[in-house]
């Protein structure tokens, strides 16, 4: 009998685009800029979607020569939160709408803001809040991406509030549904909204034994190879502590995919959305 050793696909070794990164105020003391950039560098992260509470952390990343030296391209998003209290009120708070307009007008040292978010809706009905509606329409009109941490009913509600009813809306679904809607439901939403993309941090059901992709998810990623991206979601400091492990985890399951699909999800999908090329 021929014994075939278990073959483990090699990890993905190409560049990574961290499409869900926060550099919040409480991270900046224990994890100064040089430190977070070193973590990205050691992880092969060459570009990031940066947003922070408040927006100063994003501006710091965007303006520092250290970022350029680390070879990291910053794609800045406007965060809707000045502080923790804004999480539960942004969708009806006119002062948030005004802050977003002012930040968009100001831009960053790395160029214009390219998106809005991450924002949260803990109750999907708040997608119909006055400010949520205005921001969704604004995003589509200005060709801004939206990074939204919401459940699947809220995807339909947010999309309904855009001029194209979601047909031209660049919504990045944080965690592709942190509550774990079924693969069939994700598939249905991806079919309904052609520019909807899924970011995969914390996604329940994605990784199975040994950190490999679960079969259903592998099939979904292969069905929509241009629609997924990875992210660290450094929402608390512990995520900075484990940043390199998180990225190693992505590299492990990306290695289960055909190399071109791994590169798309790890890098290309986000890079082409924002027109980012790797700096030498």
Edge-first strand order for the sheet with 45-51 is 16-22, 45-51, 73-78, 115-120, 145-149, 171-173, 197-199, 228-229
In the complex, minimum distance from the CB of residue 233 to Zn ion, in angstroms, rounded to a whole number? 4
In the complex, minimum distance from the CB of residue 147 to Zn ion, in angstroms, rounded to a whole number? 8
Cβ nearer to Zn ion, comparing 208 with 235: 235
Rounded to the nearest 10 degrees, how much is the dihedral formed by the CA atoms of 176, 178, 179, 184? Answer: 20
Cβ nearer to Zn ion, comparing 203 with 263: 203
In the complex, minimum distance from the CB of residue 222 to Zn ion, in angstroms, rounded to a whole number? 26
Q: Which residue number places its CB atom closest to Zn ion?
A: 233
In the complex, minimum distance from the CB of residue 68 to Zn ion, in angstroms, rounded to a whole number? 25
Is the separation of the CB atoms in 247 and 13 below 8 Å?
no
Cβ nearer to Zn ion, comparing 87 with 274: 87
Cβ nearer to Zn ion, comparing 87 with 235: 235
In the complex, minimum distance from the CB of residue 243 to Zn ion, in angstroms, rounded to a whole number? 14
1 burial class (0-12, 13-18, 19+ CB within 10 angstroms)? exposed
For binding to Zn ion (CB under 5 A), which residues are involved?
118, 233, 235
Cβ nearer to Zn ion, comparing 113 with 256: 113
Chain-centroid distance, C-alpha 216: 22
Closest CA to 207 of 221, 217, 199, 198: 217
């Amino acid at each position: 009998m021929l014994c075939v050793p278990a073959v483990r696909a090699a990890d993905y070794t190409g560049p990574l685009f961290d499409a869900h990164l926060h550099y919040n105020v409480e991270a900046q003391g224990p994890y100064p800029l040089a430190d977070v950039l070193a973590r990205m560098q050691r992880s092969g992260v060459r570009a990031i979607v940066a947003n922070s509470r408040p927006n100063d952390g994003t501006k710091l990343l965007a303006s520092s020569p250290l970022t350029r030296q680390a070879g990291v391209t910053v794609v800045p998003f406007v965060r809707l939160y000045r502080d923790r209290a804004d999480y539960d009120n942004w969708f009806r708070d006119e002062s948030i709408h005004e802050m977003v307009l002012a930040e968009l007008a100001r831009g960053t040292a790395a160029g214009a803001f390219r998106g809005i978010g991450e924002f949260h809706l803990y109750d999907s009905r708040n997608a119909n809040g006055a400010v949520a509606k205005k921001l969704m329409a604004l995003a589509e009109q200005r060709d801004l991406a939206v990074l939204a941490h919401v459940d699947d009913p809220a995807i339909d509600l947010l999309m309904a509030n855009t001029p194209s009813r979601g047909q031209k809306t660049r919504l990045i679904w944080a965690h592709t549904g942190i509550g774990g809607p079924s693969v069939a439901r994700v598939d249905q939403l991806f079919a309904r909204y052609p520019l909807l993309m899924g970011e995969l941090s914390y996604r329940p059901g994605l990784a199975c034994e040994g950190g490999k992709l679960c079969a259903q998810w592998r099939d979904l990623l292969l069905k929509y190879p241009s629609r997924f991206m990875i992210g660290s979601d450094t929402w608390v400091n512990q995520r900075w502590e484990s940043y390199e492990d998180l990225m190693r985890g992505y590299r492990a399951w990306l290695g289960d995919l055909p190399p071109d699909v791994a590169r798309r999800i790890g890098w290309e999908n986000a890079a082409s959305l924002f027109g980012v090329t790797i700096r030498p």
